Every structure is written in structure tokens, then in C-alpha cells.
Amino acid sequence: MTDFHALPLKPALLASLETLGYTTMTPVQEQSLPPMLQGRDVIAQAQTGSGKTAAFGLSLLQSLDVDTIRLQALVLCPTRELADQVSKAIRKLAANIPNVKLLTLCGGMPLGPQLASLTHDPHIVVGTPGRVQEHLKRESLHGGGIKVLVLDEADRMLDMGFSEAIDDIIGRIAKHHQTLLFSATYPDEIRAVSQRVQKNPVQITVEAPAEAKPAIEQQFIEVEPAQKPDALAQLLGSERGQHALVFCNMRREVDAVAQELDHRGFSALALHGDMEQRDRDEVLVRFANRSCAVLVATDVAARGLDIVALPLVVSYDIAHDPETHTHRIGRTGRAGQSGLAITLCSSRERPKAANIEELTGTPLPWRPLKLAPARGLPASRGKTLHLAPMKTLVIDAGRQDKLRPGDILGALTGEAGLDANDIGKIDVFATRAYVAISRALANKALERLRAGKIKGRNFRVRSLG
């Protein structure tokens, strides 16, 4: 691995890397940063968690001219959740560069505030293709000065039908620009996009070294559709099921499975694209901060989820294609943790299982599941039997109110009298903030925050779930 100081980076970027604790480059950074900093087009195949966001973030910030008030870098992402994640990462890298204006432009959000923010051109835009295309068509976004275009998780954008929108966007921005394409998979469709939009790109493929590959135990269980709810409840009743991600192929099935789990006493939430953005944000926050035990999601919605310690992933339905299955199981066993990935397969889904076996070249690890008698899986009668360890409080204030995580932590450990160990993840959005509190102390924290002040002010505070 190479030290970041070996690269011709601005001192401000090196200072940010030091603050973030980044000292040596990951393989994708080591291979992609030198050509990107030279202005070359790059196509890189790299998994989530490989450090690719920091790689293209550093590259576009290095070429940024803050004194020139115009849009210079555009990052396209498949989902709102990923766009928000990428925006946060770039902001952290830009922390020591004064006056950098970055906007996140995604569909599902009101257009009015975005139009107001675009009165003055931003330096960087991170967004989803549909909304970025809309702003370019309206000419509320001006692409004539773009020097760097990033297509992040390009394979997923193509899966979601954004190919035409991407082509249209490229036709509306500066003709001469650097194009950086990152994809977890490298199918023919991605090669075709690269040929259309890139010029002599440097090709990079990063395979995780054997010692760094996640320790994932896979299990395939044959169970007929009518038995799947019982099988899932039994699997989630294990110790690993205390924090689990369940995948379904269809949005309506996500809702049905989440409702069934709730009926059986599990702290379960649904996540899919038909939900309002605020609801999706809150679900992601609650699952990440451990105030929800089970998340039931579609593949697309889960792309913005970044949980390091996730012990169990269950495929309620087999994924439509083998590469999606690989993405699913890669959600567990991360950062040196061990993980379990279980796939429920009906007899009708056997051909999909055969496709996975063909891709991996190894026999699938089938195991039997003896279902417990029906009386062993009682309905909850409205009582949650499998409680998450934390509970989330919502504060109706955020970045626009100059509220920071430290302000919330200070209020809770000060006037509210809580121990820092009882306070979990704190997430601050533009107009709201979320804080996880140990479940047994959540009501006490809520009362104290309502009675006291945060940063010398009174804000509305409520409990989720």
C-alpha cells in the first residue's frame, strides 16, 4: 500500500485525510488515483467498501477551482441514499477547503428548495440521473463548465433504466471533460457505456485479497412459498437474527413480509422505492443505529445502506440474477466480521439457484430446515417480542439550525444526565436530527430533552416507534 503523501494532492486534502485517519491507500485508490489526477478517463471495477468514493472525491476536489463560481464536477448515483452517502464523504474530504459549495439533487424531494439553492451555481453536484436531467433541461443547472463526470455504481443505474437519461445528460454538459466510471460488476452493458462516453480509459479491476475476503457462511434452504413466513420467523429467532437484512424481489412483498414479521413480534421495518424520502431516511437511520431489529428491503433500496457489523442476510426470494445474489450476501461478513447468508428457495426457484451455482462454479450449500410446530411461532398479539436494543429520538432541527452531533451529545450527557455509553449513533440532516438511546433510558432522555435545551434553544423532540 502507498502513502497518500506520495501523491501530488493539495495540502488541504492531505490535512482532511489525516483528520479522517486515512494514511495508506486501498488497492482501488492506489491504482485509480494516479491516472485520475493526470486527467485520464478511468473505468474501475470495485465493490462497495473498497474506498472508491474517497478516490474519485479526492480527484475531483484536486481539480476544483473554488474561485470560479460554476459547476465543475457532477457525480451521478443510482439512489437517493447513495447520493447522500457520497455527498457526506466528499464534504468531509473538502472540510479544509473554504467555500466549497456542494448540492445533492435527487428525485422524490421538493423541486422548490433545489431551485432556490441553484440561484448561485454550486461547484459540485451529486444526484440521481432523473433529477439532474430535469434541472439541465430547465437550465436551472448549467453543465457548460463541468470538468469531471463520475458515474458511481454504473451497473445499478443501468439496471434501473437510467441509460437514456445518462446519455442525455452527457449531451447537455461540456464536451471536453474527464469521465470516471465505477461499477461493482463489469457486464457487456457497462463496456458499451464506457466505449460511448470515455476516451481511452485506464481499466482497473480490484479483487479483494484472500485474507481480506469476508468470512461469509452461505446456506440454501428449500422451502415452499406457503412455508416461507414460518421459516423466516424461525431463522430470525436465532441470536444472529437480532440484526438482520431480509431481501425480497418485489415492493409489495417487502410490505407483506414486514407486516407478517411485525405480527409475529419482530421489530421490523420495510424499505422500498414507493416510500416517501423522509420515511426512507428514517428507516435507514433506525436500522443503522440498532433501533430496528429486521429490515425488509428491495435490492435497489438497500444500495444506500452501509452497515459494517451485520450478522445475518436472508434472501426471502432468490435474486433474479446471480450477480445480484453476490451483492446481497456481500452485505454481511464485512470489515473482518463473520456473517451468515441464508437463501430460501422454492422448487420453482431452482433454476435461479442453478444459475448461481454456474456462476460460482461450486456446489451450493443446501441444508434442511425442520420447521417448529405452529405453536412455537406465536403471533405477538400486538406485543413486540424481539426488541431492538436502541430507540430513536427525533429532534426537529438540523444543519440549517447549525445543530451538530456534539450539541446533542452535550445536552444528553449534561442536563439530561445520561452516560455517553447509553447514547448511540447521531445523524444530523438538513432539518432533522436523530439520536439512538438505550431502550431502557429512551423515555427518560425524551422527557429531559423536552424539559431542557439544546444549544440554548428549545426544539420539538419525539420518539420513533
- CB distance 178 to 149 below 8 Å: yes
C-alpha cell, 204? 482497473
Relative to beta strand 202-205, strand 268-271 is unpaired
Q: Buried b / exposed e across 349-371, counting CB within 10 Å, b at 16+?
A: beebbebbeeeeeeeeeeeebee
Q: What 3-state class would DSSP assign to 24?
A: strand
Q: Where does residue 39 fall: left (phi above 0), alpha (psi -120 to 50 degrees), or beta otherwise?
A: left
- CB distance 330 to 106 below 8 Å: no
Which of 287, 254, 293, 318 lies closest to 385 in space, CA to CA? 293
Residue 132 Cα distances to 77, 105, 117, 280, 394, angstroms: 10, 6, 14, 20, 30
Tell how far CA 450 is from the center of its chain: 32
pLDDT tens for the chain, 465 residues long, are 588 999 999 999 999 999 999 989 999 999 999 999 999 999 998 876 788 999 999 999 999 999 999 999 999 998 888 899 899 999 999 999 999 999 999 887 888 899 999 999 999 999 999 999 999 999 999 999 999 999 998 987 887 778 889 999 999 999 999 999 998 877 788 888 999 999 999 999 886 554 445 578 999 999 999 999 999 999 998 877 789 999 999 999 999 999 999 999 999 999 998 888 889 889 999 999 999 999 999 988 787 676 767 899 999 999 988 888 988 888 887 656 778 999 999 999 999 999 999 888 889 999 988 887 654 444 444 455 678 999 999 999 998 898 988 899 888 988 778 888 889 989 988 899 999 999 999 999 999 889 888 988 999 999 997
438: Cα within 13 Å, side-chain hemisphere: 9
Which of 171, 160, 159 lies closest to 196 in space, CA to CA? 171
Q: What pLDDT score was predicted for residue 383?
A: 54
Residue 4 Cα distances to 25, 34, 58, 64, 204, angstroms: 6, 11, 11, 19, 19
Which of 377, 355, 373, 372 lies closest to 364 in space, CA to CA? 355
Residues 6+ apart with CB under 8 A from 147: 63, 72, 73, 174, 177, 178
Residues 6+ apart with CB under 8 A from 12: 96, 97
Q: Where does residue 265 fall: left (phi above 0), alpha (psi -120 to 50 degrees), or beta otherwise?
A: left
- CA angle in degrees (0–180, nearest 5) for 220-225-230: 80
Residues 6+ apart with CB under 8 A from 318: 325, 343, 344, 345, 349, 352, 353, 356
Q: What is the pTM of this model?
A: 0.64
Separation CA 304–CA 282 (nearest Å):
13
Q: What 3-state class would DSSP assign to 340?
A: strand
Q: What pLDDT score was predicted for residue 82?
A: 87
Integer-rounded Cα radius of gyration of the chain? 23
Q: What pLDDT score was predicted for residue 330?
A: 83
Q: What is the DSSP string of 148-170?
A: EEEETTHHHHHHTT-HHHHHHHH
**Architecture field, domain 4-205:** 3-Layer(aba) Sandwich (3.40)
Which of 361, 340, 357 lies closest to 349 in space, CA to CA? 357
Q: What pLDDT score was predicted for residue 213?
A: 52
C-alpha cell, 330? 456481500
User: Which phi and psi (to 5°) does residue 394 adopt?
Assistant: -110, 130
User: Which phi and psi (to 5°) does residue 168 adopt?
Assistant: -65, -40
Q: For domain 390-464, say whether CATH 3.10.20.740 is its number.
A: no
Q: What pLDDT score was predicted for residue 373?
A: 66
- CA angle in degrees (0–180, nearest 5) for 216-256-392: 70
- CA angle in degrees (0–180, nearest 5) for 246-248-253: 115
For the chain, the domains span 4-205, 214-376, 390-464
DSSP label of 107? T
Q: Do domains 4-205 and 390-464 have the same CATH topology?
A: no
Q: Give bridge partners of residue 271 from the DSSP assignment.
A: 297
Q: How many Å from the N-terminal Cα to the C-terminal Cα in the chain?
A: 45
**Architecture field, domain 214-376:** 3-Layer(aba) Sandwich (3.40)
Q: What pLDDT score was predicted for residue 162?
A: 86
C-alpha cell, 61? 476536489
